[in-house]
Structure 1
Amino acid sequence: MKRTLYKVILSTAMLAAAAMSSCKKDFTEINTDPNGTPNALPSQLLAPALVNTLTYNMIRNRNFNNELMQVTVDMTDAEGANFRYDIRKNQADYLWNGWYSQLTNLKDLYASASRPEVNDKSYMGISLILQSWIFSMLTDTYGDIPYSEAIKGRSDLNFEPKFDKQKDIYLDIFKQLETANTLLTAATNVTANSDPVYGGNVTKWRKFGNSLYLRLLLRLSGKKEVSADMIAKIKEIVDTNAANYPIMASNDESAILKWTGTAPYTSPYVGVRVQDFRAIAIADFFIDHLVAWNDPRISIPLPYGNGTVNRWSIAPISGQFLGVPSGYAPNNAPAKQSYFYSSDQYPQSLQVDPMTGMIMNYAELQLILAEAAAKGWISGSAASYYTNGAKSSITQWIPTWPEDINTFLANADIQWVESETIDRKMEKIHLQKYYATFLEDLEQWFEYRRTGHPVLPKGAGLKNNGVMPARLNYPIYVQSSNPTNYKTAVSAQGTDDIATQVWWQKP
């Protein structure tokens, strides 16, 4: 009895803590506590779940993904430096708690929309897409996770959910995305002010859902036991049954929550102290390519558009953009160089930029199609998809960019060359995808683990035998609150540490 009471209290406390850590101001008109009001309208639940999920994503993008993927270097000789693959175990808790708390809200959204007196297929479909998105991030981060029995503490008093295998999770996610596509086929637009991503446009939600579907199919395309089915489905969506699976067709259809600066739509980076925001250095790998390409996102000065110094608000050092090497050995710190401006230094800083609420963009989709075409899975020109992906990655940030993309790519020596090896083509595609997914949750890390691209330099100070971490460990409290299922999961998946590969990474 004591053990059961302990688990009930612990579960309640975890949910409360997650809710407290992710709350936003001024949701009065669009949000109602789903735990206290079971009859809340779907229109009250969507925006808070989106804002809160992006808050978790953006915080960990900044201090976890960007450090692993050599976007930034939080220069320190202390333990727990992510840029050295030295991952503290308690880092696992933040995303686990945050993502599961928002899945609770999205499941409430679906339940509310599916009540007989409501029966709103639009919100039902949107909920399934967003649940699929979050569950995919959870399983890509941790591996096997609670899925089929997750979030049933309130409804079923199940505080010890089983851990589903990653393969089963992915296959069910695909079923959910199929259902969402069907629901949204004949659905009507939703309340515009309830939807900060697409302003209520259900057709754009459907296109995002199918674009996400392609991302996740590609994730499994190298796994031998399912690769044939994944490739066949990619071809169906893009070629043989494209009319039934519309996908994003322009930057305007990218899934981005654009921060207005007015609560509740204020970027979570606003809550970071300005001195902390600019304290982190930019890595060599990230900045050196942009300099070599004469990339317009960091031009000095910008000769067109709105006249800003550079779109990604990177501080030059004596008129140059300079980075620091990632993974350097302790007691061998280089001088700090360029960094991202804070909002008090630069009014267009990424700290307040409206475009940082990234979920998935059109440029990423084009590069997904470029990979599929280069491997012969779909019709269409890999060169065209690649070129359009590179262009869209730039024009998403600078819509008025006047340069010809082919000239830009040729001058930067990154143009598509049909005669190159498939590995060289993948390096080009994934280097462009690296910049296209800048600020996008942990997607750079997920894709690097799948492909090994782009090729990152290895510093002398790396931990984990110099191997990119393959996952995060499970939160420590899971061992005590769900011991039987935790042990079963670890027995099936492997040691609960950062070196254990998840299912889709294994041959």
Structure 2
Amino acid sequence: MKTIYIKITALCLMLMVSFNACNTDNLAELNVDPRVASEIDPGFILAYTQLQTSGERYENWRTVMIYQSVMIQHFAALATYWVGDKYLHNDSYSAALWDRAYVNYIKDLVNLADITDPTKEGNDPSNVNYHAIARIWKVFAFQRITDIYGDVPYFDAGKGFIDQNFFPAYDPQEEIYPDLANELEIAAGLLDAAQTNPGSQDLIYGGDLDKWRKFAYSLMLRIGMRMSKVAPSLAEEYVGKAIAGGVMTSNEDICFISHTDGPAGINRNGIGEVFNWDGTNYTNDDQGVLSKTFVDWMVAGNDPRLEKLSWVRNGGEPMGLPNGYDGNTIENFDPLYTSSARRDDYSRINPLFVLRESPMVFQTYAEVEFLIAEAIERDWASGNAAEHYNAGVTAAMKQFTVYDASLEVADADIVAYLAANPYNSAEWDRILGEQYWAATLLNEYEAYANWRRTGFPVLTPVNYPGNQTNGTIPRRLRYPGAEAANNPEGYNAAVARQGLDLYTTRMWWDVE
């Protein structure tokens, strides 16, 4: 990873030279664009954008932890700056993903796809795998953005350098989603083992094109199912294409990126930087602990994952903190909470999940199995839903090993859990929704999105004083406050089409 960091630095220097050097012997050749580097190794950009998408502490702290993790009741916090489980507004926190995505990796991914496009004159056709992977990863990045905000710049986004469009229109999510699915279909078909392989420059799959193809179709399955309530025919079409194309088949296919403990920045896990474990304490932000909702659900099911996830400093049994309280009001729930020392009786997350060198997980095989079970229940796929449920639960309990081998749940514990928590087709939506929620802990983007789509698990909202939603869980985050001034045409069109820029405004696929 440090080698990649050095390569990234070298790339930046190369770009600076390319942008600023002047050849006095060729000043007359005005047809040569001086803004374009003549040769850029696409592998540098690929590695950099993968790290960028994993994210810095900035957006992982704000968008992931402070907002989504507590809204979805995986975590809870008493500090009032953790506004997510109090449904309060903080413009810079709400805007964090937008700010990082559009300023950083969206334009880089658009550029990477452009300079490796084999259909464009002057491009090297042997770079087609870089092109295909860039398109797949761009889909992943854009789905995350539109799932947070709704209508967003998409078709013309990231093209400021290419065509000087610095204020792109906001596109309807209803048009974005079908294009995301179509992009995956095209990109999966472009992957070619006979062409240049990115190898170690691909920090996710190490150039394994078969795994990239599986990820493309697994992501298509996720995208198709997200449209299940608003465009069922289109959803069924792409769910069918995804399963036929070949989705993940084991935990070996999990999409994640490895990190290292330094240097600071995108080489480190952004969530790990939020907690900043020093071997004894969380030294940067020790406010987020496991939610009572999450812990109680696991206790009720005698879930063996809880033993791996929970870390109680005082050595007691797992105990979750309720959402929606602050340092004063918590005494109304817990009269013993008269000092900060009481927090040591509550479950923090096991540090092994949130180290600075921990991997960042983007999609898992367990999620795929739960989505296939849902497709079967909807008569969109053939097979036995119970078998896919069992496979999904098993995979979810085994997937902790990507963080550390010591976190593996024993086979006997999984067998006992499945016997005590069998699949029931009459309640498939609740059962699959709850298991998906459990399996996406720390992947809060997906946990929050799938909860809004399915309504499961059933969460009890809070009604903190001064909240922005009249005591309902937010359905989206708000656009950056500066957008109304910087891109008024795009912003106003989106608001007129989608609804007021509020936390309670539902996006296209989010219907009751």
Determine if the TM-score, normalized by the shorter chain, exceeds 0.5. Answer: yes
What is the distance in 2 between the residues matched to 1:353 and 1:374?
A: 39
Alignment check: 8 A CA contact 1:330 1:461 kept: no
Q: 2:7 aligns with which of 29, 54, 63?
A: 29
Report if aligned partners of 1:329, 1:459 keep a CA contact under 8 Å in 2. no
AA aligned to 1:482 is: N
Letter in 2 for 1:477: A
Contact 1:313/1:350, CA 8 A, preserved across alignment: no
Give SS of 1:276's match. Answer: coil
Match of 1:91 in 2: 93
Determine the C-alpha separation between the residues in 2 that align with 1:212 and 1:233: 10
Aligned to 2:290: 282
Q: 1:118 aligns with which of 113, 119, 124?
A: 124
Measured after TM superposition, the shift of residue 259 of structure 1 is 2.3
Aligned to 2:354: 350
Alpha-carbon distance in structure 2 between the residues aligned to 1:180 and 1:441: 26
SS in 2 for 1:359: strand
Output the CA distance in 1 between the equivalents of 2:321 and 2:132. Answer: 45
CA contact (8 A) 2:67 2:82 kept: no
- Please say if 1:452 is aligned against 2:455: yes
Cα distance 1:342–1:403, how it changes in 2: closer, same or farther (>3 A)? closer
Aligned to 1:9: none
Q: CA deviation at 1:58?
A: 3.7
Q: Residue deviations 1:429-455, cap 9 Å, x none? A: 111111211111411111111111111
Change in 2 beyond 3 A, CA 1:163/1:473 = same
Residue 483 of structure 1: aligned partner? 488
Structure 1 position 366 matched with structure 2 position 369: yes
- 2:295 partner letter: I
Map residues 134-213 of structure 1 onto 2, 5 A cutoff. 134-184=141-191, 186=193, 188=195, 190-213=197-220
Rounded to whole Å, the distance in 2 between the matches of 1:329 and 1:270 is 24
The whole-number CA distance in structure 1 between the counterparts of 2:260 and 2:165 is 40
Structure 2 gaps of 5+ residues are 19-36, 277-281, 338-342
Give the partner amino acid of 1:217: G
CA contact (8 A) 2:476 2:504 kept: yes
Assess if the C-alpha contact under 8 Å between 1:188 and 1:202 holds in 2. no
* Structure 1: runs of 5+ lacking an equivalent: 1-23, 300-309
Tell me the residue number matched to 1:319.
316
C-alpha deviation, 1:358, in angstroms: 0.8
Displacement of 1:70? 0.9
Give, in angstroms, the shift of residue 460 of structure 1.
Answer: 4.3
CA gap of 1:162–1:489, structure 2 versus 1, over 3 A, is same
Matched, 1:49 2:54: no
Q: How many residues align?
A: 455
- Post-superposition Cα deviations, 1:357-411, rounded to whole Å, max 9, x if no partner, equal 1111111111111111122211011101111111100111147543247632345
State the alpha-carbon separation in 2 of the partners of residues 284 and 80 from structure 1: 16
Code of the residue aligned with 1:351 in structure 2: it is L
The amino acid that maps onto 2:232 is S
Cα distance change on mapping 1:187 and 1:173 into 2, 3 Å:
farther
Q: Deviations over 1:234-282 (max 9, x none)?
A: 12432xxx2xx12111101110112243556432244334333433222
| Alpha-carbon shift at residue 315 of structure 1 (Å) | 2.2
Distance 1:290 1:470 in 2: 25
The letter of the residue matching 1:161 is: P
User: 2:191–2:213: 8 Å Cα contact kept in structure 1?
Assistant: yes
Q: What SS does structure 2 have at the residue aligned with 1:28? A: helix
TM-fit CA distance, 1:117: 4.8
Q: State the secondary structure of the residue aligned to 1:340.
A: strand
**Partner in structure 1 of residue 329 of structure 2:** 332
Asked if the contact 2:78/2:327 (under 8 Å) is kept, the reply is no
**Residues 285-330 of structure 1 deviation map (CA, whole Å, 9 limit, x = unaligned):** 111223333433333xxxxxxxxxx3x3522544211111112478
For residue 451 of structure 1, what is the amino acid of its counterpart?
Answer: T
Moved more, 92-101 or 26-35: 26-35
Q: In the alignment, is the contact (CA less than 8 A) between 2:129 and 2:198 conserved in 1?
A: no
**Secondary structure at 1:358's aligned position in 2?**
strand
Q: Structure 2 residue aligned with 1:501, among 491, 497, 506?
A: 506
CA change 1:270–1:433 in 2 (3 A) is closer
Quote how far apart the aligned CAs of 1:121 are.
1.2
> Which moved further from structure 2: 123-132 or 111-120?
111-120
Cα displacement string for residues 61-86 of structure 1 (whole angstroms, at most 9, x for unaligned residues): 2222111111111203x476211222
Aligned to 1:222: 229
Q: Would you say the 8 A contact 1:251–1:362 is kept in 2?
A: yes
Q: Within the alignment, does 1:435 sit opposite 2:438 as a pair?
A: yes
Task: Report if aligned partners of 2:154, 2:171 keep a CA contact under 8 Å in 1.
Answer: yes
Q: Give distance in 2, aligned partners of 1:80 and 1:318.
A: 26
- Pick from 222, 225, 232 the counterpart of residue 237 of structure 2: 232
Contact 1:133 1:212 survives alignment (8 Å): yes
Match of 2:358, as an amino acid?
A: P
| Structure 2: distance between partners of 1:365 and 1:192 | 26
Residue pairs, 1:13-24, within 5 angstroms: none
**C-alpha RMSD of matched pairs (Å):** 2.6
Question: What is the one-letter code of the residue matched to 1:69?
Answer: I
Q: Does 1:256 align with 2:256?
A: yes
Distance 2:322 2:424 in 1: 30
Paired residue type of 1:278: D
Q: Determine whether 1:402 maps to 2:410.
A: yes
User: 2 CA distance for matches of 1:460 and 1:409?
Assistant: 35
Question: Following TM superposition, by how much is the alpha carbon of 1:493 offset from its aligned partner in structure 2, in angstroms?
Answer: 1.1
- 1:35 positional shift: 6.3
Tell me how far apart the structure 1 counterparts of residues 218 and 90 of structure 2 sit (CA, whole Å): 34
Q: How far 1:417 sits from its partner (Å)?
A: 2.3
Report the Cα distance in structure 2 between the residues aligned to 1:409 and 1:417, rounded to whole angstroms: 14
The 1:504/1:187 distance shift into structure 2, 3 A limit, reads farther
> 1:291 aligns to what?
299
SS at 2:283 equivalent:
helix
Change (3 A) 1:394 1:28: same
Which residue number in structure 1 is paired with residue 25 of structure 2? none
Taking a change above 3 Å as real, the CA distance of residues 109 and 155 of structure 1, as seen in their structure-2 partners, is: closer
| 8 Å contact from structure 1 (residues 211, 365) kept in 2 | yes
The Cα shift of 1:209 comes to: 0.8
State yes or no: 1:271 paired with 2:277.
no
CA shift, 1:480, in A, is: 0.9
Following superposition, the deviation at residue 353 of structure 1 comes to: 5.5
Q: What amino acid is the match of 1:150?
A: A
**Deviations, residues 27-52 of structure 1 (Å, cap 9, x unaligned):** 22246239645331111111111112
- Residue of structure 2 aligned with 1:386, choices 386, 389, 402: 389
